[in-house]
Structures are given as C-alpha cells and as structure tokens.
Amino acid sequence: MFESAELGHSIDNKTFRKEVEALRVELLNVQFELREAGKFPVMLLISGVDGGGKSETINQLYEWLDPRFLSTLAFSEPTDEERDRPHMWRYWRSLPPKGRIGVFAGSWYSSPIADRIDGKLTADETDHEMARINRFEGMLANEGALVLKFWFHLSKKAQRARFEKLESDPRTAWRVTKESWSRLKTHDELIDVAGHVLRITNTPWAPWIVVDGSDDNYRNLRVGKALLEALKYRLANDTPQHYPVAPPIPPRIDGRDVLTALDLSKQIEKDTYERQLAKWQGRLSELVRHPKFRNRALVLAFEGSDAAGKGGAIRRVTAAIDARQFQIVPVAAPTDEERAQPYLWRFWRHVPRKGRITIFDRTWYGRVLVERVEGFCAEADWLRAYAEINDFEHALDVAGVIVVKFWLQIDADEQLRRFNEREATDFKRFKITEEDWRNRDKWDAYREAVCDMVDRTSTGQAPWTLVEANDKKHARIKVLKTVCQRLEKELGL
Amino acid sequence: MFESAELGHSIDNKTFRKEVEALRVELLNVQFELREAGKFPVMLLISGVDGGGKSETINQLYEWLDPRFLSTLAFSEPTDEERDRPHMWRYWRSLPPKGRIGVFAGSWYSSPIADRIDGKLTADETDHEMARINRFEGMLANEGALVLKFWFHLSKKAQRARFEKLESDPRTAWRVTKESWSRLKTHDELIDVAGHVLRITNTPWAPWIVVDGSDDNYRNLRVGKALLEALKYRLANDTPQHYPVAPPIPPRIDGRDVLTALDLSKQIEKDTYERQLAKWQGRLSELVRHPKFRNRALVLAFEGSDAAGKGGAIRRVTAAIDARQFQIVPVAAPTDEERAQPYLWRFWRHVPRKGRITIFDRTWYGRVLVERVEGFCAEADWLRAYAEINDFEHALDVAGVIVVKFWLQIDADEQLRRFNEREATDFKRFKITEEDWRNRDKWDAYREAVCDMVDRTSTGQAPWTLVEANDKKHARIKVLKTVCQRLEKELGL
C-alpha cells in the first residue's frame, strides 16, 4: 500500500513553478465549470500521518483554487449537539452542496483509526465500521458526489525528520506538540491499522490515493493534478459510475402479500376507544418523561395511502407529549438547499437530540413509493434506496434512537368516501388536491411499491407496523399501543 | 398592567365547547391561508408566571391547529455551539420560516427577566436590553413577521393554589418541582420586574397581551381568539405596519465626500510590497493563533466596486491563516430557505464560533448598496437597514466578535482597464458578466450609496476602512495591516 510512497519522490522548485502555472489556470477553469453546472459536490478527504503535510496541502489548494467556493471542514472534539446524535450526523451536516468543493481535514476515518490503535475497537468492529463507510461512500458516489481520498504517507524516519525540521524554524515550531512526538511512537501501529483500513475501503467508487508526504512540491502537485483530472473526467462524463445495486424485484407469483393479509374490517366501539385512548396516551406521556428516555430518542415515521388518517393518528400521539419535546416534520417538496445534497440529507438534519422526538409525516420512503411509482427517479436510484434507508435507520438505532414506522392502509372504497367527505367539509377542503385524485388511478402500482418496501426494509430494529385504518379509531389505538410497547421494550420497563 | 388579569375570569365548559367548535374551523382555515400565501411567519411568545398554564395552552394550540405546520421552540440551557456565539444566535436559528407558526416556549425575554431578579442585571442594563429587544422585534415586524406576545399572569395566591392542585393529581404532580416552590417565593419580584419589562416592550408593532392564567378555558380561548383575529387582520391587510424608519437622507451640498477625499494614486513598489506582505502575513498568522484569540472571533466584511480586487485581498488574508480556522462566505442570491427568513438571517447563520473567522465576500450591506441602487427593495426597507445593521454588528461586538469592514475603491478608468483585462485572460473570464458592464452606468448612484453607508454605519466598534485600490499592492497591504492592528488592539497586544 505504502511502497510507492517511500520511493523518495521530489520535485525541484523550478519544475514545480512551471507546472503550477498551467495547473492553476486549469484548476480555476474546472472549478468554474463545476460551479456553473451545479450538478455534483466534490469531497476531498485529506488524511495521513502527522507531519505528512495535510494542512500545508490544504492551504496550497486555497492558493490555487477560488477560495470562495472551497470549504474546509475540520472536526475536532464533537460539540454537545453532535454528541447527542448518531456519530455520522456531524459529517452529514458538513457535506458540501452541489457545485462546491469541501475539503475534509479529518473525516469519518479519523475516529475508527484512532480507536483501533487505542484498542477501543476490535479488528472485527473495525471491519464492520469500514463496511459501513464503504456503503456511505457508495451512496455519496451514487448521489453524484466526486469523492477523492488522499493519504499522505511518511516513513517513521521521514516523520521524525519532518518534526525536527518544523521545530527548528521559529515560524513553524508551534506546530510540533507533545502529541506529535507521541504519535511518532505509535507510527508502526498507525501504518498497520491504516494499511488495513485503506485496503478494505479502497473501493472503485472512492479509491484511495496514497501520496509520499515528505516533499511539499511533489505532494501538492500530485493532489492538484489528481483533483484536476478527476474533475475533468467527471465533468465530461455526465452520469457517475453507479456502484452495483440490487437486481430488480422478482414478481410475486401468487396473489398473497402483506397488504391482502390485512383485515381492514377491524374496528372498535366508541366507548372502548375512549378508554383505550386515555390509557395509552397516559402511558405514552409517562414513557417519554421516564428518566431512561433522556438518554434515548424517538423517531416516528408515518406513511400511508392518501386520506388514510396519518394526521389524525399523529395528533393522538402528540396530544400525549409536551410540545417542547417533539417536532413534526411534514415532508413536502425539498428546498433548494436540500436538492443540493444527497437524498437522505433532509431527513438527517431533523434527527432528534437525546430525549427528543421527531415525527415525520411522510418520510424517506418517498423514494421507494411516490418517486418510484411516478417515475421521479431512475430505477437504479430507488432500487439502491432500500439499502441506504436500512443503513440510515441502523445508524439511528446504534445511537440509541428508537425508530417506529407505520403504514396506514385503507381500501379504495373507504378512500373515495373520505375524499368526498373532505371536499364537503369546510376546514378539511385543503386536505384534498387534484393530485390525490390522480394517485387513485395508480392504486395497484402503489400497492406493489408498499409490499416491496415492507419486504426490504422491515428490519429487526426498525420493523414496519401495518395498520388497518378503515376504522380510524382502531388505527389510532394501534399506533399509540405500538409506540408504547416499543418504548417499554427499548427502555426495559 | 396585571389588574384585568386578576379580576377572576373564567369560562364554563359548555360555553367553552361551543366557542371552540367555531374557533377551530376558523383557525384551521386561516392557518391554511397563511401557509398557502407563504408571505410571513407568525411568532407566538408564551411567557408568564410559573404554573400560569404556558405548556397547557401550547398543547391546546396543537389540538386546534394543524400540528404539522406548528413548531415549538424551547430554550433550556444553551448548547456549547450557542454559548460560543452572540446570545441572540439561538433565537435567530430558531425563527419560523414564512408560512409557519413558531411557538416560543421561553424567548429572548427569559434570561433578562431572570437575571434582573437575581441581581445580575442592573435596572439600567435591563432597560438597555429591552431597548435592544424592541429594535429586534421592530425589525421582525418590518420584515413582515406577526409577533404576538402573551403573558400569563397569576396572583401569588392563585399561583399557590395552582401548584397545590397540580400536586394533588398524580398525573400532574411531576410538574411541580422544588424550583416551582422557590419561584413562589420570588413572585413579588417577578411581578415587579415583569411589570416593568412588559411596560417598556409594549410596542405598537409587538404589543403584550396579558392573560389571566388561572382558568384553563378562559386562557386558551383568549389566546386562540387573539391568534385568529391577528391572523385574519394580517392576511387581509397585505403590507404590515412599518414602525417608523429614519427620514430620507439629506443631499450633500458641496462636492466633498469620503470617496472624493481618497487619494487613489497611492501605490507601493514591488520590493516594498513583498517585504510588507511577508511582515503582515506573518503577524496575522501569529495573532489568530494567540491564546487570547481563542475567546474571541473575527468577521471580515469585504465590499467594493466591481473588479476592485476583493478576491485578491481576501486571498492575501487567507494565505496567512490555517484553512481549518476560517470560512469564506461568498454572498450571492439567497436560497429559498433564506428568502423565507428576515434579511439578516443568512448572515447570522455564518457567525463564527469562538476562535474562528468568517470572511464575507460581499455582505449584509448589499441591502443599502445594490438593493437600494437597483430598486430591489423599497426605500423604507433600505432606510431601516442602517439601524438593523448597526444592531447586528453591535450584537457581534458585545459577544467578543471583532468586526472589520473594508470598502475597496477604484476609479472608473481603472475599472474599465480591469474589465478589459479580465475578458482577455482565460482563467479570469468568468469574473466578468453582463451585469458588471451594466453596473458601470450607475457609477454615481453607487457612489452616493457608498457615502451614505459609511456615514451611517461606520460605528465605534465596527468602523469602515476605505481602501484606495487602484494599486492592488497598496490595497492588499492596507487590508492586512488594518486587520492586524485591529486584532492587536482588541487582544490588548
């Protein structure tokens, strides 16, 4: 992995200056094209051995590129807002939007590598983490991002020489700290761990570029040229290379599916409803105030046919919770800031802090429901979404966020009845649109999409609860009861 | 202030239910209109005596309104990201966008009132803070926001009765804490302080509505109806009431102004430039790494004629700073999320944390420059902007953020020369657009706007530095030197 980086590459100043002259013009031109096109972001990960010239190269990039459209994302100790959420949240919130270049000084590799060296992660855990990173970067690549990962290598000898040189110059002496020298001591371990990490994350969609860090001219030029070539290629080849997605979904061969299996005639009487409602709302109110919940969080995901009663069910849930503890996120068309980011970004930004609750009225499943059925995204995009969604929910779960997902199902007759009722009721009239009527025509396509969604995303820690919703009372009680029982289980009560 | 709220208002359940039936339909309708129009946000401040029913009323609003377009903003202890920035930053980041209702459970009044009671603020300081709040709310009102402020009052006797009632019911006993009882002890002080605060913040554009908090029905109905009437009125009357802005700017009566006073022939030799550049960049590099800077932050604001050399000056500054310490914000057209907020919101979101630097390439002064000259906003809007900008920069200053502002001035001949040069240079061609040529025709109008800007916003702690920029070398050194000298002064070095 690091052999070529120890050959002693170097470039003299004269050659460097000559090369840079042409390089800079080209870099400014492609950066301008990148910005004008606004079609994809560039993520530049600058990693490597301490003293390997990371900050020098980043600063060099600022000289070569238009610094106004360059951001450096630095990650030191997480803030309390970050610590209260899944560990990838801080990276999601920092992703550069389309058209911009984000330089990651430190990245999602930093903690796993450090933790492995310190023995906080086992070899197996490290590999699991790397598998997760591979999928994350695969998602970024599929969303169009150009991901370039650099590792600046130094042999132990070269690292020592570098520290000594920095220390000898009063202008740079401040950069060598006690930590630097202690890093020299763990140089061998770092090379071991990094070698392994780089090897298993050296994917076709986000390969590593290992660079000899000892010579400033060589290192900077290597990075500058690699960036230039990658950008030129990507700008000339409109569609990114998709990394393999799942094969298309095989058709069902009998008429049975999870929706036909539902008994939509289920209902409960008004009296029972009132009693049950009071019971489960009371219970929910206790559960979200339980001391054990302070270290967890809750995400409620509501999907369902139009007019299936999502809003009504949500109200019965929120009525039991103090308004300061939850937020409802109604999912509509993305804003332009959201469109400039990977699909899941607009959901990541609403991930609740510890002790808080986010309720999504329609969710990230839009991709495999409406976007699939209406053809708003390519087949490859919704096919890969299942795995990306499972990864997202897994990340929530690992961080202690409890994910509860509901699909509210009504039949076509009941839907028609409700549409007509809504049109006739003054304050409900805004709930029904042209689009709702059009969607009815695609009843079977939606049904198919829902069944596939349940098959592919009803996972152990984030199972779907299918709710028979022809009777609103039954549906509301089932939702409340499910939330409560799940909370009890998760909190061990 | 509180007399009417102690008369013992109450509404029986039957009347309440009857009133609510009609109220709810009306509320849902106006909320829908609000959302459809998407023209202004609603800010509902719910404040008052502990036990006065704040959370009960907020939860009631969730029952009456469509909860999906309602957000509750709760402010407990500030997070470290918030503590590292001006104290109003947490409120700015929480402002509801146009079309939505934000309920503030706790607001910018909470700390000043608590601090006054604890003796952390003197009477004078409290009044200053209230004056600031009045201007802040005036800005919100002028930006179109509907600001409704409620104060839920309870007499001491009623407060005690309330706590006792809550404690006697196992479902609500948890809400009465040690703090509640200690608040009862300071009831008189609270009424004193709040009475004063409410009186001086009882502005025509954001008046207080004091409500008797002791009866749930009365209190909820009062808030619901007040919200309904305010929304109906505001939806029917398109333009908000502007609160008084400054009178138009009197014309200058001789030919002299701050720009004509500049000696644009100033220049320095290449040798001197190289020496000075190294000197000031070295100094800047030390200053931003100085331990004393860790508790401060720096905002650099760059404005100037087209082609005046802002970009070049910025590069000479950033070359001296580690990329992990600064962000450059190029100010272009606002995103739709930014357009849904008050004008200054898109600058507030980039306010640096302690120890960090934000460099704005074009700034909040766009309002009194391009927007004024091109007629993109009404005269009243840019006239009031001077004061709002001064308030913004004052808030930064109070929080320890050092604000340094540059206007780079070139003459018309030099600009023409640079435009032609840019068009001829490959990698600079994207720097020149049709718009740049058009702006040249408005040279005098821009000149006028710049002079007025300097007259009205060059304040003690955020003065303008006018930079003679016909000679780029002179301009860059002046910028670097100004930043260094300001830092030295502020850090006491």
Q: How confident is the model at residue A427 (pLDDT cuts 50, 70, 90)?
A: low
pLDDT score at B441: 80
Give the pLDDT confidence of B32-41 residue by residue, as tens digits. 999 999 999 9
Q: How confident is the model at residue A256 (pLDDT cuts 50, 70, 90)?
A: confident
Among A residues 342-401, those touching chain B with beta carbons less than 8 Å apart: 361
Give the pLDDT confidence of B52-108 residue by residue, as tens digits. 999 999 999 999 999 999 999 999 889 999 999 999 999 999 999 999 999 999 899
pLDDT score at A318: 95
Measured between beta carbons, the chain A residues lying within 8 angstroms of B313 are none
The answer, for B335 touching chain A at a CB cutoff of 8 Å, is yes
Cβ A393 vs Cβ A459: under 8 Å = yes
Helix, strand, or coil here: A43?
strand
> How many domains, in total, are found in chain A?
2
Task: Judge if A318 and A209 occupy the same domain.
Answer: no
Decide if pLDDT at A433 tops 90: no
Task: Judge if A196 and A284 occupy the same domain.
Answer: no
Residues A211 and B41: their CA atoms lie apart, in Å, by: 52
Cβ <8 Å between A315 and B67: yes
What's the average model confidence in pLDDT over B453-480? 95
- Answer with the residue of higher pLDDT: A113 or A238: A113
Cβ <8 Å between B427 and A327: no
Residues B64 and B28: their CA atoms lie apart, in Å, by: 7
Would residue B153 count as lying in a domain?
Answer: yes
Q: Comparing C-alpha atoms, which of A223, A43, A11 is closest to residue A133? A: A43
Would residue A256 count as lying in a domain?
Answer: no
Give the pLDDT confidence of B336-370 residue by residue, as tens digits. 999 999 999 999 999 999 999 999 999 999 999 99
Would residue A354 count as lying in a domain?
Answer: yes
Measured between beta carbons, the chain B residues lying within 8 angstroms of A105 are 323-324
Cβ <8 Å between B79 and A74: no
Measured between beta carbons, the chain B residues lying within 8 angstroms of A81 are 79-81
Give the pLDDT confidence of A263-287 residue by residue, as tens digits. 999 999 999 999 999 999 999 999 9
Give the pLDDT confidence of A363-397 residue by residue, as tens digits. 999 999 999 999 998 888 899 999 999 999 999 99
Of B319, B335, B361, the CB nearest to A68: B361
Tokens of A443: 């009843």
Tokens of A92: 């999601």
pLDDT score at A175: 83
Domain boundary among A236, A253, A288: A236
Would residue B308 count as lying in a domain?
Answer: yes
Residues B398 and B275: their CA atoms lie apart, in Å, by: 36
- C-alpha distance across the termini of chain B, in Å: 51
- C-alpha distance across the termini of chain A, in Å: 51
Residues B66 and B32: their CA atoms lie apart, in Å, by: 9
Between helices A379-398 and A443-457, what is the axis angle to 10°? 40
Q: Which residues pair with B46 in a beta bridge?
A: B105, B150
Decide if pLDDT at B418 tops 90: yes
Q: Which of A310, A427, A432, A433 to mutate to test the interface with B (most CBs of B within 10 A)?
A: A427
Decide if pLDDT at A438 tops 80: no
Task: Tell me which amino acid residue B115 is.
Answer: D
Q: Can you tell me the ipTM of this complex?
A: 0.89
Cβ <8 Å between A59 and B315: no
Domain boundary among B186, B221, B236: B236
Q: How confident is the model at residue A299 (pLDDT cuts 50, 70, 90)?
A: very high
Residues A360 and A330: their CA atoms lie apart, in Å, by: 6
pLDDT score at A150: 97
CA distance B329 to chain A (A): 6
Residues B487 and B479: their CA atoms lie apart, in Å, by: 12
Would residue A141 count as lying in a domain?
Answer: yes
Decide if pLDDT at B255 tops 80: no
Cβ A482 vs Cβ A404: under 8 Å = yes
Look up the CATH number of the domain holding residue B107. 3.40.50.300
Task: Judge if B211 and B351 occupy the same domain.
Answer: no
Between helices B443-457 and B379-398, what is the axis angle to 10°? 40
pLDDT score at A239: 67
Q: Which of B287, B324, B331, B350 to mutate to test the interface with A (most CBs of A within 10 A)?
A: B324
Task: Judge if B315 and B227 occupy the same domain.
Answer: no
Tokens of B381: 């809007």
Q: Which of A56, A328, A354 to mutate to test the interface with B (most CBs of B within 10 A)?
A: A328
Residues B334 and A70: their CA atoms lie apart, in Å, by: 18
Neighbours of A129 (CB within 10 A): 21
Would residue A307 count as lying in a domain?
Answer: yes
Measured between beta carbons, the chain B residues lying within 8 angstroms of A94 are none
Decide if pLDDT at A339 tops 80: yes
Task: Tell me which amino acid residue A263 is.
Answer: D
DSSP state letters, A396-430: HHHTTEEEEEEEEE--HHHHHHHHHHHHHSGGGGG
Q: Which residues pair with B211 in a beta bridge?
A: B152
Helix, strand, or coil here: A52?
coil
Decide if pLDDT at B206 tops 70: yes
- What separation in angstroms does the CA of A32 have from each of A58, A181, A339, B244, B429? 19, 41, 20, 44, 10
CA distance A253 to chain B (A): 40
Tokens of B347: 């600058």
Residues B214 and B163: their CA atoms lie apart, in Å, by: 11
Cβ <8 Å between B322 and A103: no
Domain boundary among A213, A236, A259: A236
Of A66, A324, A328, the CB nearest to B74: A324
Task: Judge if A312 and A210 occupy the same domain.
Answer: no
Cβ A198 vs Cβ A210: under 8 Å = yes
Q: How confident is the model at residue A217 (pLDDT cuts 50, 70, 90)?
A: very high
Task: Judge if A227 and A300 occupy the same domain.
Answer: no
- What separation in angstroms does the CA of B301 have from each of B101, B328, B354? 33, 10, 17
CA distance A250 to chain B (A): 37
Tokens of A130: 């790397």
Residues B45 and B102: their CA atoms lie apart, in Å, by: 8
Cβ A375 vs Cβ A442: under 8 Å = no
Number of residues written out for chain A: 493
Task: Judge if A302 and A357 occupy the same domain.
Answer: yes
pLDDT score at B348: 97
Q: How confident is the model at residue B243 (pLDDT cuts 50, 70, 90)?
A: low
H or E element, residue A376: none
Q: Which residues pair with A203 in a beta bridge?
A: A206
Tokens of A328: 């409802």
Would residue A420 count as lying in a domain?
Answer: yes
Task: Judge if A28 and A143 occupy the same domain.
Answer: yes
Q: How confident is the model at residue A429 (pLDDT cuts 50, 70, 90)?
A: low
Would residue A97 count as lying in a domain?
Answer: yes
Of B25, B59, B311, the CB nearest to A427: B25
Which residues of A139-233 form beta strands (DSSP E)? Answer: 146-153, 208-212
Tell the residue number behind the tokens 């509180």, with chain if given.
B2
pLDDT score at B242: 62
- Answer with the residue of higher pLDDT: B253 or B284: B284
Helix, strand, or coil here: A389?
helix
Measured between beta carbons, the chain A residues lying within 8 angstroms of B427 are 24-25, 28-29
Task: Judge if A293 and A173 occupy the same domain.
Answer: no
CA distance A299 to chain B (A): 15
Residues B74 and B292: their CA atoms lie apart, in Å, by: 33
The answer, for A237 touching chain B at a CB cutoff of 8 Å, is no
Cβ A478 vs Cβ A468: under 8 Å = yes
Environment class of residue B69 by beta-carbon count within 10 Å: exposed (0-12), middle (13-18) or buried (19+)?
middle
A162 phi, psi to nearest 5 deg = -65, -50
pLDDT score at B349: 97
Among B residues 278-317, those touching chain A with beta carbons less than 8 Å apart: 282, 285, 289, 311, 314-315
How does A40-72 read in b/e, with b if 16+ C-beta sit within 10 Å? bbbbbbbbbbbbbbbbbbbbbbbebbbbbbbbb
Give the pLDDT confidence of A144-174 residue by residue, as tens digits. 999 999 999 999 999 999 999 989 988 788 8
Q: How confident is the model at residue B394 (pLDDT cuts 50, 70, 90)?
A: very high
* Three-class SS of chain B: CCCHHHCCCCCCHHHHHHHHHHHHHHHHHHHHHHHHHCCCCEEEEEEECCCCCHHHHHHHHHHHCCHHHEEEEECCCCCHHHHCCCCCHHHHCCCCCCCCEEEEECCCCHHHHHHHHCCCCCHHHHHHHHHHHHHHHHHHHHCCCEEEEEEEECCHHHHHHHHHHHHHCCCCHHHCCHHHHHHHHCHHHHHHHHHHHHHHCCECCECEEEEECCCHHHHHHHHHHHHHHHHHHHHHCCCCCCCCCCCCCCCCCCCCCCCCCCCCCCCCCHHHHHHHHHHHHHHHHHHHHCHHHHHCEEEEEEEECCCCCHHHHHHHHHCCCCHHHEEEEECCCCCHHHHCCCCCHHHHCCCCCCCCEEEEECCHHHHHCHHHHCCCCCHHHHHHHHHHHHHHHHHHHHCCEEEEEEEEECCHHHHHHHHHHHHHCHHHHHHCCHHHHHHHCCHHHHHHHHHHHHHHHCECCECEEEEECCCHHHHHHHHHHHHHHHHHHHHCC
The mean pLDDT value of chain B amounts to 92
Cβ <8 Å between A318 and B361: no
Give the pLDDT confidence of A343-369 residue by residue, as tens digits. 999 999 999 999 999 999 999 999 999
Measured between beta carbons, the chain A residues lying within 8 angstroms of B68 are 311, 314, 328, 330, 361
Among B residues 1-40, those touching chain A with beta carbons less than 8 Å apart: 24-25, 28-29, 32, 36
Of A25, A55, A427, the CB nearest to B323: A55
pLDDT score at B453: 95
Give the pLDDT confidence of B103-139 residue by residue, as tens digits. 999 899 999 999 999 999 999 999 999 999 999 999 9
Task: Judge if B176 and B33 occupy the same domain.
Answer: yes
Task: Judge if A131 and A277 occupy the same domain.
Answer: no
CA distance A329 to chain B (A): 6
Of B28, B62, B68, the CB nearest to A330: B68
Return the C-alpha torsion angle A158, A160, A165, A167, nearest 10. 160
What's the average model confidence in pLDDT over A455-462? 91
CA distance A39 to chain B (A): 16
Among A residues 45-64, those touching chain B with beta carbons less than 8 Å apart: 55, 58-59, 61-63
The mean pLDDT value of chain A amounts to 92
Task: Judge if B348 and B410 occupy the same domain.
Answer: yes
Q: How confident is the model at residue B171 (pLDDT cuts 50, 70, 90)?
A: confident
Neighbours of A79 (CB within 10 A): 15
pLDDT score at A187: 94
Decide if pLDDT at A253 tops 80: no
Give the pLDDT confidence of A119-134 residue by residue, as tens digits. 999 999 999 999 999 9
Q: Which of A23, A79, A322 to mutate to test the interface with B (most CBs of B within 10 A)?
A: A322
Count CB pairs under 8 A between chains A and B.
116
Decide if pLDDT at B192 tops 90: yes
Measured between beta carbons, the chain A residues lying within 8 angstroms of B330 are 68-69
Cβ <8 Å between A282 and B105: no
Q: Lowest mean pLDDT: which of A214-218, B192-196, B235-239, B350-354?
A: B235-239
pLDDT score at B380: 87
Task: State the residue range of the domain holding A340.
Answer: 270-491
Cβ <8 Å between A71 and B174: no
Decide if pLDDT at B426 tops 80: no
- What separation in angstroms does the CA of B291 have from each of A199, B328, B354? 40, 23, 12
Neighbours of A303 (CB within 10 A): 24
Residues 6+ apart with CB under 8 A from A69: A31, A35, A99, A100, A101, B330
Residues A6 and A151: their CA atoms lie apart, in Å, by: 13
pLDDT score at B40: 95
